[in-house]
Amino acid sequence: MFTETQFGKSRRRAELLAKCVLGMMVASMIIPLFLIIGYLVKEAWPLLSLDFLFTNPTGGMRHGGIWSALLGTLYLVTLSLLIAAPIGVLAAVYLNEYARDSWFTRIINLAVVNLAGVPSIVHALFGLGAFVLFAGIGRSILAASLTLAIMTLPVIIASTKEALSAVPISFREACWNVGASRWQTIRGIVLPNSISGILTGVILQVSRAAGETAPIMFTGAVFFKKIEAGNIFAYSIWDQCMALSMHLFTITTQVTDAPRALPFATAVVLLGTVLMVNALSIGLRVYLRSRKKW
Amino acid sequence: MEQEVLNLPEGAVPGPSKAPGARSIVRARKRPVWEIGFEVGLEWLIRLCGISAILFVFGIFAFVFREGAAFLFSSRFSLVKFLFTTEWYPTSMSNIRYGVLALIVGTGSVTILAMAIAVPFGLGAAIFISEFCTGRLKEILKIIIELLAAIPSVVWGFIGISIMNPLIQTVFSVPVGLNVFNGATLLALMSVPIMVSIGEDSLKAVPDSFREAALAMGATRWQTIVRVLLPAAKNGLLAAVLLGIGRAVGETMAVLMATGHAVKIPHSIFDPVRTLTATIAAELGEASVGSDHYQVLFIVGILLFTITFVVNLSADLIVRGVRKG
């Protein structure tokens, strides 16, 4: 019926071109990413084994495994999670269930956004000034965890808020109408219905905390600390500790004659941990979305 | 559905005064006093946690300021010299000088080059994912971008040293691979995810009726994007770029490891530089607590805090403008 004009053809060509160029832009970010990860794993392959995880670094960190760093990261992440999760979840409950749409709420939201944007090294300065020196905790796992907790707080607040606001308002109204108080409604209806969504945010916090280096550098992480291999209670919260991210930084920049595979293997363990934890969070979210009932 | 719940007018959410029946019925059943007391206490705790973010932001500023204040107001410190000279010799024996201009230029050059790479790629990816992808491909791309954001900065720094460094040396045949270009490439990859996710959100926020109207007029998809969607979403896209800049300015470990260590104004993109963040990270360990050098590093921290605060604040104000309009 209609014959395609030259004008129409050129428009179509422009569209195709745009699509190809944009697609190639995306591909040019994603393909190198996989190449890099593949290369890291390939270089690390000779060292990767369970032994690597469970033995201590030896010979000035030129040999051996990463046990003391791995355990330190576990301590830091667990403790920072214990501090950040309750505060973050309650803050999100306040923002979503209690706060009204006022200038004050707007300022709180602004503060959350800005807290997320504060550079990690400024968090380190804060941790040093506030916890290590002012509060007199000293350089320790506790001080480092507190710093990490404040740094990762916005992650928990943001995702918990999202999970809470996904609970329909009618659920709350039904609950109020049978005479439940505000807290009873939250406790009995809102939290149970959003707990898995909150969990995804908490998992995300773990992955953030595990990868951070700058905030723990001056508040509790050390280059080297000798602990007993295989004992998971080797640190106390008043001790300084090694951490995986810090360990990678050290053996990359300070230990120049380490065997080539060693930093690669450390990087792969760190990257693998963080990506797996993240994938867990994403998987949980996708699963939840698929079985959402309302 | 979610959106509708989120956007309910304030009147629909019963505040304490607007849910009158609630408490009185409960009291009629005579709840034990301790239970009511517990609830009141808990609600105060929730309020306290709610304002914790404000307390922490002020706390961060206050404590960083407190450590640096003594030197900031002392006669040995001159703000003009601090900001506008390039000589950074904090441990010099004869003449100690604290000029951060070279560090500011270092941060600026890495950030600008990173944005030159990241803005087209980030916004291009946002457009591609939002407008040209559907269904499964869209989900997968979004997940990959999210995983890209999860890679720790120290791993990026390691990639910069172990992979990018030899690569740059061979490809561009320059003697040192740890330079502005290396750091900027890493920063670009690190700030792309936030640009994609915010950019995609703001494109998604453009009502479908805009797209339908353009298509009904006979525009192609690309014409719709360029003439209708980009102008409509421009504030959100600008905010995405600003957040990317904030991320790049504040990044520490990757630039510490990948930009080389030279406090000087770079003349080409293959010159090594040092950024504000890297300087704090590299020198804080050596400076003894309370010394001038130590306090100057905290003043650099205040400078960084101020820069990122302004950038994030403007991004937020721009986004808010979008929501109102």
Q: To which H or E segment does residue B88 belong?
A: strand B88-89
Distance in angstroms (rounded) separating the CA atoms of residues A10 and A2: 16
Q: Any chain A CB within 8 A of the CB of B152?
A: yes
Look at residue B297 in the predicted model and tell me its pLDDT: 92
Contacts of B12 in chain A (CB under 8 A): 169
**Where are chain A's structural domains?**
67-290
A-interface mutation test, from B24, B35, B42, B52, most A Cβ less than 10 A away? B52
With a cut of 70, say whether residue B164 has pLDDT above it.
yes
Q: What is the pLDDT averaged over residues B20-38?
A: 66
CA atoms of B81 and A245, how far apart (whole Å)? 36
Residue B294 has pLDDT above 70, yes or no: yes
The answer to whether residue B14 neighbours chain A at the CB level (below 8 Å) is: yes
Min CA distance, B145 vs chain A (Å)?
A: 8
Does the beta-carbon distance from A119 to B304 stay under 8 Å? yes
pLDDT at B108: 93
B98–chain A nearest CA distance, Å: 19
Instruction: Report the pLDDT value the prediction gives residue B321, as an integer from 0 to 100.
Output: 66
Q: Does B2 have pLDDT greater than 70? A: no
Q: Is B225 on the interface with A (CB under 8 A)?
A: yes
Residues in chain B closer than 8 A to A182 (CB atoms)? 16, 19, 22, 43
Q: Which of A33-37, B10-14, B151-155, B250-254 has the lowest mean pLDDT?
A: B10-14
Enclosing H/E stretch for B98 = strand B97-98
Which residues in chain A land under pLDDT 50?
none
A213 has a chain B CB within 8 A of its CB: yes
Query: Cβ contacts (< 8 Å) between A274 and chain B: which residues?
Result: 150-152, 155
- The residue length of chain A stands at 294
Best of B148, B154, B251, B306 to disrupt the A interface by mutation (most A CBs within 10 Å)?
Answer: B154
DSSP tag of A223: S
Q: Cβ B152–A123 below 8 Å, yes or no?
A: no
> What is the per-residue pLDDT across A12-52, written as a single tens digit (0 to 9) for each?
888 889 889 999 989 988 898 899 999 999 998 888 888 88
Neighbours of B90 (CB within 10 A): 18
Tell me which chain B residues have a C-beta less than 8 angstroms from the C-beta of A189.
none
Q: Which of B249, B252, B291 to mutate to probe the A interface, most A CBs <10 Å?
A: B252
Q: Say yes or no for a CB contact (<8 Å) between B16 and A182.
A: yes
Whether residues A115 and B53 touch (CB distance < 8 A) is answered with yes
Rounded CA gap, B190 and B207, in Å? 30
Cβ contacts (< 8 Å) between B54 and chain A: which residues? Answer: 107-108, 111
Contact A119 B251 (CB under 8 A): yes
Q: Sign of dihedral through CA atoms B268, B269, B271, B277? A: positive
CATH fold for the domain made of B98-324 = MetI-like fold (1.10.3720)
Q: What is the pTM of this model?
A: 0.87
Residue B259 in this model has a pLDDT that exceeds 50 = yes
Q: What is the pLDDT of residues B6-20, one digit of tens each?
A: 444 444 444 444 444
Contact B90, B98 (CB under 8 A): yes
Say if residues B26 and A180 touch (Cβ distance below 8 Å): yes
pLDDT score, position B93: 77
Instruction: Give dist(CA A155, CA B250) in Å, integer.
Output: 17
pLDDT of residue A2: 66
Q: Is the CB of A90 inside 8 Å of chain B's CB atoms?
A: yes
Q: How far is B168 from chain A (nearest CA, A)?
A: 15
d(Cα B142, Cα B150) in Å, to the nearest integer? 13
Give the angle subtended at the CA of A254 by the CAs of A56 and B111, to the nearest 5°.
120
pLDDT at A1: 58
- How confident is the model over B156-165, as a mean pLDDT? 92
Give the residue among B115, B116, B90, B118 at the shortest CA–CA distance from B102.
Answer: B90
The conformation of residue B144, written as its DSSP 8-state character, comes to: H
Report the chain B residue with the minimal C-alpha distance to residue A293. Answer: B1
Residues of chain B with CATH 1.10.3720.10: 98-324
Question: Using one digit for the tens of pLDDT, what is the confidence trace for B78-130?
Answer: 888 888 888 888 887 778 888 889 899 999 999 999 999 999 999 999 999 99
Res B186: pLDDT: 93
Query: At B190, which amino acid appears?
Result: M
Do B22 and A19 lie within an 8 Å CB cutoff? Answer: no
User: What is the identity of the amino acid at B188?
Assistant: A
Question: Does the CB of B137 have a partner CB in chain A at under 8 Å?
Answer: no
Give the rounded percent of residues in chain B with a pLDDT score beyond 90.
45
Helices (H), chain B: 2-6, 20-28, 33-50, 52-72, 79-84, 101-127, 135-150, 153-159, 165-171, 180-204, 208-216, 221-224, 230-232, 234-250, 253-258, 276-283, 292-324
- ipTM metric: 0.90
Substitution target in A26, A104, A162 with the highest count of B β-carbons within 10 Å is A26
Helix orientation angle between A6-44 and B135-150, rounded to the nearest 10 degrees: 40
- CATH 3.40.720.10 assigned to domain A67-290? The reply is no
- Chain A residues 140-199 within an 8 A CB cutoff of chain B: 150, 153-154, 157, 165-166, 168-169, 173, 176-177, 179-184
Please name the residues between 246 and 305 in chain B that touch chain A, using a CB distance below 8 Å.
Answer: 246-247, 249-253, 257, 277, 280-281, 284-285, 289, 297-298, 301, 304-305
CB contact under 8 A, A168 and B45: no
